[in-house]
Amino acid sequence: MSDQTVSPAAVQAEPLKQSTTGVRPISWKYPITYAVLAALAVLFAITLPAGARTHFRLSSGGDFFEIPLVELPSRPAGWILALILVGLAGLAIWQASQRVRTRLWLPLLFGVLFVLAFLVWAGADRGAVIPLVTMLTGALALSVPLIFGAMCGLVGERSGVINIAIEAQLLAGAFLAAVAASVFTSAYMGLVFAPVAGALVGALLVFFSVKYQVNQIIVGVVLNVLIIGLTGFLFSTALTQNPELWNARQQLPRLPIPGLSQIPIIGPVLFNQTILVYLMYLIVGVLNVFLFRSRWGLRTRAVGEHPKAADTVGIKVNRMRVYNVILAGGIAGLGGAFFTIGQGLAFGKEMSAGAGFIALAAMILGRWHPIGALLAALLFGFSTSLGNTLATIGTPVPSEALLMLPYVITIFAVAGFVGRVRPPAANGTPYVK
């Protein structure tokens, strides 16, 4: 070999300039959505009768200070909100035309203001008060199983196993929580057994999908049918024959956090909850840190993205998947417990009512990220709660239309409307050496 080798620097060429501008088509779907919603807000404002008033209740008693009933003149409030929304939509359109990236605050602010504009319109001159705190509490309650479910799906799919059986895990958790709590007459025993039920379903899922490489979607569907059938059968036999022993109501006590729970509005919503909800905060927080900053998280993501690469550095791919899916099952089982002991209800047939699938959608909408999935699940919970509230106060819009909202959002989310969604690359692919 010669010593006249070229130094690397000498051959490093100037990279060619890439003409990216003026080529990529501008994506107009967000600006158009904003514009349509802003137009809707203007429509609300126009149709508001002069002199109408909208009432909001912002307190729930026991706060540091009582906020009196808020009374807004509907028409001016409606117009102000509508104009701000039009402004924000204009900003979004301008940003799109300038190819500026829209920041996260814009959709969040837009969403909050639009909901307010809608409430001002819906509550105008109804004689009814819009119970904001109750609505938010309801929203969180509806979100809790979704959040647990989404975290379960996320841990599984980040390690490469698609989990369609979240529904089954929630239901199994709800069932065993109710039965255990009833038998031991202690809600906390329910909390101990609920994750076991979810983990068992998870174990079945990995047993078939990892060990025997059965199609993961099919295993998931079968597990859903199995658990719905099994819990339904036990419910209509043992649980109905001797409800005092097997299906007596037990409720986890509320544990208000001193101080925090007295903050107006958010205090009672967030910090006057059962241990189950606090556990949920913890799980989301821990996952958010550990998935991205720990050895476990790095290996989990590696196994879900490129299992062969993980194998070549000595990571046991299938073992990792087995552990993670069982762990995830435990998380979903906890979520199931919320249906029964979390709310002080007895177990009822198919009481999870599709929450597992909505959780799956929340995970996708949240792009396989704990915080994203959390926000998506909250959005679903809130829109359901909104529908419920409007059903009670009576509005011009049929409340059923609003109850449809989570499912509509889900379809858009799954169809990729939320932008480029990139699942873990090896998601759903069994690893065979």
Partner 1 sequence: MKLELRGVTKRFGSFTANDRISLTVEPGEIHALLGENGAGKSTLMNTIYGLYSPDEGEILLDDREVSFNGPGDAVAAGIGMVHQHFMLIPVFTVTESVALGYEPTRAAGLMDMAQARAKVLEISARFGFDVDPDARIEDLPVGAQQRVEIIKALSRDAKVLILDEPTAVLTPQETDELITIMGQLRDSGTSIVFITHKLREVRAVADRITVIRRGAVVGETSPQSTETELAGLMVGREVNLTTLKEPANPQEVSFEVRGLTVLSSTDKVVVDDVDFSMRRGEILVIAGVDGNGQSELAQTILGIRTPVAGSILLDDKDLAPLSVKQRLAAGLGFVPEDRSTDGVIGAFTITENYVLDMYDRPPYAGGPGNVALRLPVMREAAQTQAERFDVRMGSVDDPISTLSGGNQQKVVLAREMSRDLRLFVASQPTRGLDVGSIEFVHRTIIEERDKGTPCLIVSTELDEALNLADRIAVMYRGKIVGIVPASTSRDVLGLMMAGVPADEAQAQAATHQTVMAEADEQAEAEENQ
Interface residue list for partner 1 (CB under 8 A): 1-2, 4-6, 8, 10-16, 18-20, 23-25, 289-290, 293-296, 298-299, 301-302, 305-306, 308-316, 420, 422, 425, 433
CA separation for the pair 333, 195 (Å, rounded) = 4
* Selection from 166, 145, 111, 148 nearest residue 379 by Cα: 111
| Least separation in angstroms between CB 422 and partner 1 | 8
| Least separation in angstroms between CB 346 and partner 1 | 39
Three-state DSSP state, 131: strand
Q: Which is nearer to partner 1, 234 or 315 (CB)?
A: 315
DSSP output for 210-271? IIS---HHHHHHHHHHHHHHHHHHHIIIIIHH-HHHHS----PPPEEPTTGGGSTTHHHHHS
Of how many residues is the chain composed? 433
| Least separation in angstroms between CB 25 and partner 1 | 7
| Least separation in angstroms between CB 369 and partner 1 | 12
| Least separation in angstroms between CB 297 and partner 1 | 8
| Least separation in angstroms between CB 210 and partner 1 | 17
| Least separation in angstroms between CB 147 and partner 1 | 23
| Least separation in angstroms between CB 21 and partner 1 | 10
Q: Which is nearer to partner 1, 23 or 50 (CB)?
A: 23
Q: Which is nearer to partner 1, 8 or 68 (CB)?
A: 8
Q: Which is nearer to partner 1, 14 or 244 (CB)?
A: 14
Residue 397 half-sphere exposure, CB side, CA atoms within 13 Å? Answer: 19
CA separation for the pair 81, 93 (Å, rounded) = 18
Residue showing tokens 């909901």: 115
* Selection from 47, 27, 18, 194 nearest residue 117 by Cα: 47
Q: Quote the crossing angle between the two packed helices 370-393 and 132-158, to the nearest 10°.
A: 150
| Least separation in angstroms between CB 159 and partner 1 | 13
CA separation for the pair 220, 194 (Å, rounded) = 19
Other C-beta atoms lying within 10 Å of the C-beta of residue 175: 31
Cross-strand partners of 273: 255
Q: Which is nearer to partner 1, 135 or 322 (CB)?
A: 322
CA separation for the pair 177, 192 (Å, rounded) = 8
Cα–chain-centroid distance for residue 391? 23
Rg (Cα) of the chain, in Å, rounded? 25
Q: Which is nearer to partner 1, 15 or 61 (CB)?
A: 15
Q: Which CB contacts under 8 angstroms, 24+ apart, belong to 386-389? A: 386/115, 386/135, 386/139, 388/138, 389/130, 389/131, 389/134, 389/135, 389/138
Which two tokens mark 345?
A: 């209800």
Which two tokens mark 47?
A: 């149709």
Q: Which is nearer to partner 1, 207 or 296 (CB)?
A: 296
Other C-beta atoms lying within 10 Å of the C-beta of residue 9: 6
Q: Which residue type does 364 have?
A: I
Q: Which is nearer to partner 1, 19 or 98 (CB)?
A: 19
Q: Which is nearer to partner 1, 55 or 367 (CB)?
A: 367
Which two tokens mark 361?
A: 């959608």
CA separation for the pair 168, 225 (Å, rounded) = 8
CA separation for the pair 126, 156 (Å, rounded) = 47
Three-state DSSP state, 40: helix
| Least separation in angstroms between CB 331 and partner 1 | 18
| Least separation in angstroms between CB 18 and partner 1 | 6
Contact 234, 175 (CB under 8 A): yes
Q: Which is nearer to partner 1, 100 or 245 (CB)?
A: 100
Q: Which is nearer to partner 1, 63 or 311 (CB)?
A: 311
